[in-house]
């Protein structure tokens, strides 16, 4: 496969799923960190909306869920040929909740530093209207984009391209002001706005595919996840 296509669709991925199942503890920790970063909000939202859990309970169960991913090697049982990872995780959550009564006396686990308060606030107002499954998908989309944006911001800081990222933030995360308005605000030429924005968008795309590549274990799965993320029905 030639180099440009690799950029468009990275095939050499560091799969977080495989890393999470690795015997090497550092590699396993890296994999679990990526998986939990992408999925903790969808899991929390699903517990709130589908299982009608209160905030505290949903936060505890989310922690418990990611602890069990390690303890019970749940990811080891995942078969991408049979289901999407998101579907598999929802089944695991359902199992966790079903066993909740039996584990009522369990010790609360705080292995991950998730910002549940922010998630609670973000979910507020959507609770009544949202379908739990659709919300799970949407939260996953938000998480993947957020991870890709964070990586791009880090890279821009490292390479002295803060303005490139600021332009993307102002335009695509803002309310799409005109290029002329952005040029005036940043004190640069309109052509610089166009070029820097084009660079940021291109690198955001690469970053999104990098994150998706880590969350999947085959080209076919990556292709399906990319379509689910970028062209949802």
72 is a contact residue toward another protein (CB under 8 A): no
**Of 3 and 79, CB closest to another protein:** 3
Chosen residue from 98, 173, 180, 189 binding another protein by CB under 8 A: 173
| 134 counts as binding another protein under rule CB under 8 A | no
Query: From the CA atom positions of the chain, what is the Rg in Å?
Result: 20
Neighbours of 144 (CB within 10 A): 23
Q: Which of 117, 115, 135, 137 is nearest to 126 (CA)?
A: 135
Question: According to the binding rule CB under 8 A, does residue 185 interact with another protein?
Answer: no
Pick the binder of another protein from 83, 91, 111, 118 (CB under 8 A): 118
Considering only residues 72, 110, 176, 185, which one is a binding residue for another protein as defined by CB under 8 A? 176
Does 163 contact another protein by CB under 8 A?
no
Residue 92's closest CA among 62, 57, 48? 62
CB nearer to another protein: give 58 or 92: 58
**Stretch of 18-26, 61-69, 74-82, 199-207 contacting another protein, by CB under 8 A:** 199-207
> CB of 3: closest distance to another protein in angstroms?
8
DSSP state letters, 81-92: TTS-HHHHHHHH
Distance, C-alpha 56 to centroid of its chain: 22
Q: Which of 111, 172, 177, 189 binds another protein (CB under 8 A)?
A: 172
Which residues fall within 8 angstroms of residue 15, CB to CB, at 6 or more apart? 31, 213, 214, 215, 216, 217
If the CB atoms of residues 89 and 143 are measured against another protein, the closer one turns out to be: 143
Torsion of CA 78, 75, 10, 201, to 10 degrees: 110
Q: Classify burial at 82, counting beta carbons within 10 Å of its beta carbon; exposed 0-12, middle 13-18, buried 19 or more.
A: exposed
What kind and span of H or E run contains 53? Answer: none
Whole-number minimum distance, CB 161 to another protein, in Å?
16
Would you count residue 168 as binding another protein (CB under 8 A)? Answer: yes
Site of interaction with another protein (CB under 8 A): 1, 3-9, 118, 122, 138, 141-142, 145-146, 149-150, 153, 168, 172-173, 176, 194-195, 198, 201-202, 204-206, 208, 219, 222-223, 226-227, 229-231
């Amino acid at each position: 496969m030639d180099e440009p296509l690799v950029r468009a669709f990275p095939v050499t991925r560091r799969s977080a799923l495989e890393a999470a199942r690795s015997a090497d503890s550092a590699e396993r920790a890296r994999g679990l960190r990526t998986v939990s970063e992408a999925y903790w909000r969808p899991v929390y939202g699903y517990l709130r909306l589908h299982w009608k859990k209160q905030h505290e309970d949903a936060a505890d169960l989310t922690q418990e869920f990611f602890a069990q991913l390690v303890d019970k090697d749940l990811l080891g049982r995942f078969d991408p040929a049979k289901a999407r990872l998101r579907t598999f995780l929802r089944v695991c959550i359902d199992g966790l909740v079903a066993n909740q009564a039996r584990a009522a006396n369990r010790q609360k686990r705080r292995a991950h530093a998730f910002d549940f308060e922010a998630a609670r606030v973000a979910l507020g107002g959507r609770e009544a209207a949202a379908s739990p499954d659709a919300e799970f998908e949407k939260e996953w989309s938000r998480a993947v984009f957020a991870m890709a944006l964070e990586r791009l911001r880090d890279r821009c800081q490292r390479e002295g391209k803060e303005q490139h990222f600021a332009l993307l933030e102002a335009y695509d995360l803002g309310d799409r002001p005109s290029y002329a308005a952005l040029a005036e605000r940043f004190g640069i030429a309109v052509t610089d706005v166009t070029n820097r924005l084009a660079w940021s968008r291109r690198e955001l795309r690469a970053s999104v595919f990098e994150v998706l590549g880590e969350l999947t274990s085959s080209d076919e799965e990556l292709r399906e996840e990319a379509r689910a993320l970028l062209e949802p029905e």
